[in-house]
Structure 1
Amino acid sequence: MTSDNSLEIWVKVNAGASRDRIDGWMEDQLKLRVAAAPERGRANRAVCALIARTLDVAPRDVTVVQGPTSPRKRIRIAGDPVTLWTRLTALYPGSDLPAPR
């Protein structure tokens, strides 16, 4: 889930939604919606941009590392994992996942 300089989370993406938004935690993954269609990487770019805006990090710091063609994706966010996790769980409480150390 973490390394010294990044945080990895699972997300469940609903592409082609009416607007971009994060719905909150669904078990071990963050559920979110993006308006972009799931074609030619558009939805993946929208997912990365949404997470970057939400966590106040640069878009280049958010990447899809697993599941680029699947609704379930593993996302890597560059930065201090404790700080990123604290921001994420402050905005969207309810995760049963342990906090990074």
Structure 2
Amino acid sequence: MSAFSAFPDHVRLTVRLTPNGGRDAIDGIETNAEGQDYLKARVAAVPENGKANKALIALLSKKLRIPKSAVGFISGETARKKILRIDGDPEDLSKRLKTLAEG
């Protein structure tokens, strides 16, 4: 299973976020014990008042060269594991995510 899946008008991305991680970075793809893949990300922001989530959206929008408004949460706003919806052309986004994950 991939860390992201394409739909007709968006891509869903599974992320494991480490807040207070010292820097904003994408650390590649990892697989958990259940065999699920996720994108590892870290942000310097603290997990208070949505600061880490905002930093994650800013990081992904910068790396993928998309507007922040194209990234939203499906689930996990208060958890480390999050599922994001990224609006846009799924084929283009999938290519960008593969490049980003390979790093």
The answer to whether 1:24 aligns with 2:28 is yes
Correspondence for 1:44 among 42, 53, 71: 53
Q: What SS does structure 2 have at the residue aligned with 1:70?
A: coil
Give the TM-score taking structure 2 as reference length: 0.86
The alpha-carbon deviation at position 90 of structure 1 amounts to 1.7
Aligned partner of 2:34 in structure 1 is none
Describe the superposition over 1:41-85 as per-residue Cα deviations: whole angstroms up to 9, x where unpaired.
Answer: 111111111111010000010112100000000011110111111
The alpha-carbon deviation at position 17 of structure 1 amounts to 1.2
Aligned partner of 2:12 in structure 1 is 8
The alpha-carbon deviation at position 2 of structure 1 amounts to 2.7
Show the 5 A alignment for 1:10-89.
10-27=14-31, 28-89=37-98
- Give the gaps of 5 or more residues in structure 2: 32-36
Residue identity (%): 38
Aligned partner of 1:91 in structure 2 is 100
Contact between 2:29 and 2:38, CA under 8 Å: does it hold in 1?
Answer: yes
Q: Tell me which stretches of 4 or more aligned residues in structure 1 moved more than 6 Å.
A: none
Q: What SS does structure 2 have at the residue aligned with 1:77?
A: strand
Q: What SS does structure 2 have at the residue aligned with 1:92?
A: helix
User: Amino acid of the residue matched to residue 28 of structure 2?
Assistant: G
Aligned CA RMSD, in angstroms, stands at 1.3
- Give the gaps of 5 or more residues in structure 1: 95-101
